[in-house]
Amino acid sequence: MAKEYDPKNIEGKWPARHRYAQALAGGQKEVDEYNPQKIEKRWQDHWEKSGIYQAEDDSKKPKYYALVEFPYPSGDGLHVGHVRSYTAMDIVSRKRRMEGFNVLYPIGWDAFGLPTENYAIKTGRQPREITKENTDTFRQQLKSLGLSFDWSREINTTDPKYYKWTQWIFLKFLEKGLAYKAKIPINWCPKDKIGLANEEVVDGHCERCGTPVEQKEKEQWMLAITKYADRLYDDLDTVDYPNRVKIQQKNWIGRSEGVLIKFDDIEIFTTRPDTIFGATFVVIAGKEDKFTGRFVTNPATKEKIPVWEAEYVMSDYGTGAIMGVPADDERDMVFAKKYDLPIVGEYKKAGFEDFGRKVTKYKLRDWVFSRQRYWGEPIPVIHCGKCGVVPVPEKDLPVELPKVEKYEPGPDGESPLANIPEFVNTPCLRCGGPARRETDVMPNWAGSSWYFLRYCDHENEKEFASMQNLKYWMQVDWYNGGMEHTVLHLLYSRFWNKFLYDLKLVSTSEPYKKRTSHGLILAEGGEKMSKSKGNVVNPDTIVKQFGADTLRLYEMFMGPFEQAIAWSEDALVGPRRFLERVWKLSGKTKELFTPYAMICQDVFEKTVEKVSDDIEKMAFNTAISQLMICSNALAKEDFIPTNDFKRFLQLLAPFAPHITEELWQLMGGKDSIHNSKWPKANWVSNPMFIDISVQINGKYRGVIMVKNIATEEEVKNTALSLPEIQKWLNGKEPKKVIVVPRKIISIVT
């Protein structure tokens, strides 16, 4: 049986054109082997020298601020997870530059913190030395990946020139009454006599010595983030964050609208005042479950009900007391059953106006802002017996960290700084009498709470950043980072930014316009990469073996960007082969001076469109598949017009910046490919190909594809040469062929 006429079969089969192509093809150019080791370092040096990735503070171009979480320079070196996040925003940044934006894509070091301090203790070395070594390694590693960071703006939170301003902002909090001291319980190791961070408590035991951890009341510096709870909550509606991130932040803030009701002198907090007729007991927060012996009156039923203490009621939420409604609340039911308290199943629902008053309660607590540690920003205040807390004046900032010989905590678990008399003892800045310097340091969240502002004006010695620069650069247009930072870091930095906004020191109330998150990279077996398991992949090894372009492509290709995904050494070969193919394709290029469309032009135009869209959606893996499809189609061509190949290179450039730059230059590119203009798809406004209907003896027989610019004669020749049409003609010579330009070809036999 004869096959159906299928216009799809005609696509890509255009014999007339094919012959034309053959004629032009001639011999292919010889190309060397693709060798990333030969080209990558050369281009990295060249880009650095020519400064093409430096952002300008003053530019007529529209600005674009792309941000990634700056790394903690640990002794382990760069992780392949860093590569994933940084390459993703690198792709966005490179595309934006090609779209004509003045792009700020900065990097720095979030270098204060415990691991370095602990390593210093273990090795007897200075944290600043260790930090210098680690940042040198990280910098070299990042540079070897060809990331388009503006290295001229590199910042380091442990640099006194940087933390001067962290201290300065703290003093603003103090001045406005938002930094205060309070006695609060901290994790305390009685053997080491040291306060522990939550991360250092493992199953209730000290991470270092295994002693059970106690709670100890200690004076701590606090930041009043709760004053901003409502705005931190409500303003989430004004930013473009993933929904799950917004939900996590809202849960953390934990705002709930409820009612305070008095059961005699005990005030309870409830979000279900309608259930008051079912309340058969009252519970106050306590260390263990017990009956207090007291009874109070339920204001709705007027009955006397017992007052209990129990662990399940939190002392620091609501009023620390609840009404127990076993019929409607699970935990109350469990409690009532356990202690044989009355349960009423059927009761009247209350309209509650008579019993209480509305309040809003939050789970969010003020931020404990001091650490009894060494490797952090000293809190810049002095304690004087006469004058109390005296802030260090701006002209004396920064209060620099002195070198220490020993890291033993002070006599009462204070920071090691307490053991350095030259640091501690200082005359009072107000009365001149003897005074003591504060020896607590800030938590390692401090420096990262405002670093995105410093990038805008990193060398400013008069202000943390000038309003002029902040007005130009802020908000951050796109911020990518890990899911582990969606609560604390994001909330803290939004809080600092809002505080500075209220002081009219920054220009926008929300720091980040858009936030996205990448998925983790897991080890080959699917478990977490960890040093102890010995399954950590070192990006250096991959760069050496395969090249940075392959590593970049691989990490963007391995799976959907926001999903966790396991590493696979074997899968690196795919992206590498793809790049080798692209390299070889350059041998097929030809300069053409006549308008000429490739056979695969439609695939090509689709690629322009898809890659452009997919980058915006962070669908990097599908963008790369499309580039692969396109390269396969190009490979089938006898030759590729140079201009089209250059457009292909441009699409690939954000992903694989080195190979594309090399080939671009070989194709005669003058300026860097990364400064060239991002390609646009041609087919929307001016398709290369159009469909024309075919009629034979007045009957519609299908559609053929022809070049948009084809002449009547060309359309006629094309149609008649197609075997599918020959079949309809059944060997007969056409009597008449009429071409209605761009619409119909009508053949009469």
Q: How many residues bind Zn ion (CB under 5 A)?
A: 7
User: Which of these ranges, 135-143, 170-178, 225-233, 268-276, lies near ligand ANZ under the rule CB under 6 A?
Assistant: 268-276
Query: Taking the complex as a whole, how short is the minimal distance between the CB of residue 339 and ligand ANZ, in angstroms?
Result: 17
Nearest CB to Zn ion, comparing residues 212 and 433: 433
> What gap in Å lies between CA 181 and CA 471, rounded to an integer?
34
Nearest CB to ligand ANZ, comparing residues 29 and 338: 338
323 sits near ligand ANZ (criterion: CB under 6 A): yes
> What gap in Å lies between CA 111 and CA 139, rounded to an integer?
13
Q: Which of 44, 74, 270, 507 binds ligand ANZ (CB under 6 A)?
A: 270
Angstrom distances, CA of residue 118 to CA of 75, 164, 198, 410: 11, 24, 16, 17
Q: Which residue has the tokens 């199953």?
A: 203
Specify the pairing of strand 214-223 against strand 367-368. antiparallel
Nearest CB to ligand ANZ, comparing residues 333 and 629: 333
User: Which of these ranges, 61-69, 291-299, 323-331, 643-651, lies near ligand ANZ under the rule CB under 6 A?
Assistant: 323-331
**3-state secondary structure at position 250:** helix
The per-residue b/e assignment along 392-413, b for 16 or more CB within 10 angstroms, e otherwise, is beeeebbbebeebeebebbeeb
> What gap in Å lies between CA 491 and CA 449, rounded to an integer?
9
User: Which of these ranges, 127-135, 195-203, 379-387, 546-554, lies near Zn ion under the rule CB under 5 A?
Assistant: 379-387
What string marks each residue from 407 to 446 as x (binds Zn ion by CB under 5 A) or -?
Answer: ---------------------x-xx-x-------------
Q: Which of 182, 314, 467, 738 binds ligand ANZ (CB under 6 A)?
A: 314
Category of 367 on φ-ψ map: left (φ > 0), alpha (ψ -120 to 50) or beta? beta
320 sits near ligand ANZ (criterion: CB under 6 A): yes
507 sits near ligand ANZ (criterion: CB under 6 A): no
Nearest CB to ligand ANZ, comparing residues 252 and 501: 252
Nearest CB to ligand ANZ, comparing residues 276 and 623: 276
Query: Taking the complex as a whole, how short is the minimal distance between the CB of residue 250 and ligand ANZ, in angstroms?
Result: 12
Q: Which of 322, 500, 537, 553 binds ligand ANZ (CB under 6 A)?
A: 322
> What gap in Å lies between CA 296 and CA 380, rounded to an integer?
50
Which listed option, ligand ANZ, Zn ion, none, makes contact with residue 202 (CB within 5 to 8 Å by class)?
Answer: none
Nearest CB to Zn ion, comparing residues 46 and 386: 386
Which listed option, Zn ion, ligand ANZ, none, makes contact with residue 428 (CB within 5 to 8 Å by class)?
Answer: Zn ion
Which listed option, ligand ANZ, Zn ion, none, makes contact with residue 547 (CB within 5 to 8 Å by class)?
Answer: none
Q: Which of 40, 110, 117, 329 binds ligand ANZ (CB under 6 A)?
A: 329
Question: Whose CA is closest to 220, among 334, 368, 88?
Answer: 368
> What gap in Å lies between CA 520 and CA 537, rounded to an integer?
13
Q: Which amino acid is at 632?
A: N
Asked if residues 140 and 429 have their Cβ atoms less than 8 Å apart, the reply is no
Nearest CB to Zn ion, comparing residues 387 and 536: 387
Specify the pairing of strand 565-566 against strand 521-522. parallel
User: Which of these ranges, 72-80, 100-108, 295-303, 386-394, lies near Zn ion under the rule CB under 5 A?
Assistant: 386-394
What string marks each residue from 356 to 375 as x (binds ligand ANZ by CB under 6 A) or -?
Answer: -----x--------------
Q: Which of 132, 272, 365, 581 binds ligand ANZ (CB under 6 A)?
A: 272
**3-state secondary structure at position 652:** helix
Q: Which of 184, 387, 592, 635 binds Zn ion (CB under 5 A)?
A: 387
> What gap in Å lies between CA 483 and CA 247, rounded to an integer?
12
Task: Quote the strand ranges of 190-272, DSSP E.
Answer: 194-196, 201-202, 205-206, 214-223, 256-263, 266-270
Transcribe 682-736 into DSSP letters: STTTS-SEEEEEEEETTEEEEEEEEETT--HHHHHHHHHH-HHHHHHHTTPPPSE
> What gap in Å lies between CA 54 and CA 47, rounded to an integer?
10
438 sits near ligand ANZ (criterion: CB under 6 A): no
What the block records as the tokens of 183 is 């006695």
Please give the residues from 528 up to 567 whose contact with ligand ANZ meets the rule CB under 6 A.
Answer: none
Q: How many residues bind ligand ANZ (CB under 6 A)?
A: 18
Query: Taking the complex as a whole, how short is the minimal distance between the CB of residue 441 and Zn ion, in angstroms?
Result: 23
Nearest CB to ligand ANZ, comparing residues 352 and 479: 352
Nearest CB to ligand ANZ, comparing residues 271 and 530: 271
275 sits near ligand ANZ (criterion: CB under 6 A): yes
229 sits near ligand ANZ (criterion: CB under 6 A): no
Asked if residues 673 and 650 have their Cβ atoms less than 8 Å apart, the reply is yes
Angstrom distances, CA of residue 723 to CA of 19, 486, 697, 737: 16, 61, 17, 17
User: Which of these ranges, 318-326, 535-543, 603-611, 724-732, lies near ligand ANZ under the rule CB under 6 A?
Assistant: 318-326
318 sits near ligand ANZ (criterion: CB under 6 A): yes
Which listed option, Zn ion, ligand ANZ, none, makes contact with residue 386 (CB within 5 to 8 Å by class)?
Answer: Zn ion
**3-state secondary structure at position 544:** helix
Question: Whose CA is closest to 10, among 720, 732, 738?
Answer: 720
386 sits near Zn ion (criterion: CB under 5 A): yes
Asked if residues 156 and 134 have their Cβ atoms less than 8 Å apart, the reply is no
Query: Taking the complex as a whole, how short is the minimal distance between the CB of residue 358 and ligand ANZ, in angstroms?
Result: 13
What is the binding site for ligand ANZ (CB under 6 A)? Answer: 256, 258, 269-272, 275, 313-314, 317-318, 320, 322-323, 325, 328-329, 361
Residues that bind Zn ion (CB under 5 A): 384, 386-387, 428, 430-431, 433
